[in-house]
Structure 1
């Protein structure tokens, strides 16, 4: 065998191995793409479900909070109407405490 034949054989072997590596790299790339796409779609579906739940639950929570606030306002209004001087005293005490706290923080 001559040197030229050896070089051709080495070149052919190298070309074959390079083609094999390229094919394996493409297969790996395709496999990871499919895996990443599945993860992305799964995460996207979970996010969509969470958003849909939030959309349906937010009006319910808002309605409930408004109902509780209205109830608290009515109860407070009734209490103040029945006990006006107590309400004034409590408001004055809260104002005094707030003033002391603010005065100390400066």
Structure 2
């Protein structure tokens, strides 16, 4: 049979173990918070840098795209002006192919 001293000793051991588990859990939470915060800050820094790069490169890319589009339009205009019947033939062929494709898809 358990004596009063044994019960008290078991209770004290259990209380000590419980305090130890609580302390370990608090330490684990603190360590994971610091780790998560570090990873979050690193990811945030990378994202911020990527956004800054995108903001600075977007006007350059837009300017290049507009220049290439204008050049393509100019070349196309010259070609159509020099070869009107070829342009009409190509447009008719594209229209015929598009009509066939649409007709078959229904």
With structure 2 as the length reference, what TM-score do the two structures score? 0.88
The separation in 2 between residues aligned to 1:98 and 1:50, in whole angstroms, is 41
Unaligned runs of 5+ in 2: none
**Deviation (angstroms), 1:21:** 1.4
TM-score by length of 1: 0.88
Give, in angstroms, the shift of residue 26 of structure 1.
0.7
Runs of 4+ in 1 over 2 A off after TM superposition: none
- Structure 1 position 59 matched with structure 2 position 74: no
Corresponding position: 1:80 with 2:80: yes
**Which residue of structure 2 lines up, in the alignment, with residue 16 of structure 1?**
16
Cα shift at 1:101: 1.7
RMSD: 1.6
